[in-house]
Amino acid sequence: MSSSSFSSCASCFLQNHQGGGGGRCSRRTRRQRCPSSSSSRRQRRVLFLRACAAQRTSGNDDDLDEDEDATKTKQQHQRNEKKPKKNIAVFISGGGSNMRAVHAACETGEIHGQISLVVTSSYNAGGVEWAMDRDVPVLLYPGGKDLEESERISPSELNEFLKNEYKIDVVLLAGYLRLIPPELCRTFENKMLNIHPALLPAFGGRGMHGAKVHEAVVNSGARFTGPTVHFVNENFDEGKIVAQRIIRIDPSWTAEEVARRVLKEEHEVFPEVVAALCDDRIEFRETDGVGVIIDKMDSNKRY
């Protein structure tokens, strides 16, 4: 994470972030709480944690075998070493298992990036505690009904935080249930990905999330399902598709069984696409702007 406003990570964000030391940040001071003051409060209140994002380390190339694939992977790593890691913001509303899968891939070096910010629509999202334990700053947006208007962050402030405060390069929606403000869609055009647990364009759109998706899939009699990764635009689940995985549905499976299998696939395909985005290995079809991944091992291959 980088910001000229951050002097150190010795204390909480509020103490450090005062416009370089002197200025007063009144709205923020009211709506952000120091997490060290009370663990129950941090569950209930808006979170904005430490100024230090955890430093990530990339994988150790010494472990790679010297076969052809490993050599190509190594070459990709070497190319990446010359570039700074991408700053990733992950938006969550739930358990955050996809966020953890992305984090794991950052740790191994598969993704040349680091999770620098988590944005949550709910204090209770499972991934919030996980992020806090790693000193990743967490921001509540847009906040529930219980949040006073004066305490809310506006779409412009959110945009500002991501772009200038945290220098975010890539935004990931990993189970985030709220609509993304149009200005954020514009700022992060072709840099914002969502993962959906069905084969879009079917079984998507407003209200289609969680168990409802898998129930609809099973009830329809569809014989195939699987996750879709797509770029984000202003409408739910409508951005251009960049990757999908297919699972054959056994007619005896319940929606829960389908959900379990799809989630497993999500944990593979999402990091793979994020890695491509962070490596600048996605190009856009001239005719319609569909994102196409350039193979990591063979730069002549597209999929």
By annotation, the residues acting in catalysis are 196
Q: Does 94 bind ligand GRF (CB under 6 A)?
A: yes
Taking CA atoms, 193 is separated from 19, 28, 290, in Å, by 32, 28, 13
Q: Does 226 bind ligand GRF (CB under 6 A)?
A: no
Nearer to ligand GRF, 9 or 95 (CB): 95
- Read off the DSSP letter of residue 64: S
Q: Does 121 bind ligand GRF (CB under 6 A)?
A: no
* Structure token pair of residue 73: 């992977």
Would strands 86-92 and 113-120 be described as parallel, antiparallel, or unpaired?
Answer: parallel
Nearer to ligand GRF, 222 or 294 (CB): 222
Estimate the share of the chain in helix, then strand, then coil, as percent rounded to the nearest 5.
Answer: 35, 15, 45
How many CB atoms within 10 Å of residue 94?
20
By CB under 6 A, which span of 15-23, 58-66, 195-203, 243-251 interacts with ligand GRF? 195-203
What is the footprint of ligand GRF within residues 196-225 (CB under 6 A)?
196-197
- Read off the DSSP letter of residue 164: I
Nearer to ligand GRF, 58 or 93 (CB): 93
Look at the block and give the residue holding tokens 């329809």. Answer: 220
- Read off the DSSP letter of residue 84: P
DSSP alpha helices (H): ranges in 82-145?
Answer: 97-108, 126-133
Residue 146's identity, in one-letter code, is D
Nearer to ligand GRF, 92 or 117 (CB): 92
Nearest CA to 122 among 43, 197, 51? 43
Q: Does 98 bind ligand GRF (CB under 6 A)?
A: yes
Nearest approach, Cβ of residue 100 and ligand GRF (Å): 8
Nearest approach, Cβ of residue 196 and ligand GRF (Å): 5
Nearer to ligand GRF, 12 or 92 (CB): 92
CB 247 within 8 A of CB 203: no
Nearest approach, Cβ of residue 210 and ligand GRF (Å): 7
Beta-carbon contacts of residue 128 (< 8 Å; ≥ 6 apart): 47, 92, 96, 118, 120, 122, 138
Nearest approach, Cβ of residue 142 and ligand GRF (Å): 18
Pick one of 95, 155, 181, 205: the residue that binds ligand GRF (CB under 6 A). 95
Nearest approach, Cβ of residue 98 and ligand GRF (Å): 3
Q: Does 136 bind ligand GRF (CB under 6 A)?
A: no
Nearer to ligand GRF, 49 or 128 (CB): 128
What is the footprint of ligand GRF within residues 228-267 (CB under 6 A)?
263, 266
By CB under 6 A, which span of 33-41, 94-102, 142-150, 181-189 interacts with ligand GRF? 94-102
DSSP alpha helices (H): ranges in the chain?
Answer: 13-16, 26-31, 39-44, 68-81, 97-108, 126-133, 155-160, 182-187, 211-220, 255-278
By CB under 6 A, which span of 4-12, 67-75, 150-158, 191-199 interacts with ligand GRF? 191-199
Residue 266's identity, in one-letter code, is E
Chain residues in the site for ligand GRF (CB under 6 A): 92, 94-98, 174-175, 195-197, 227, 263, 266
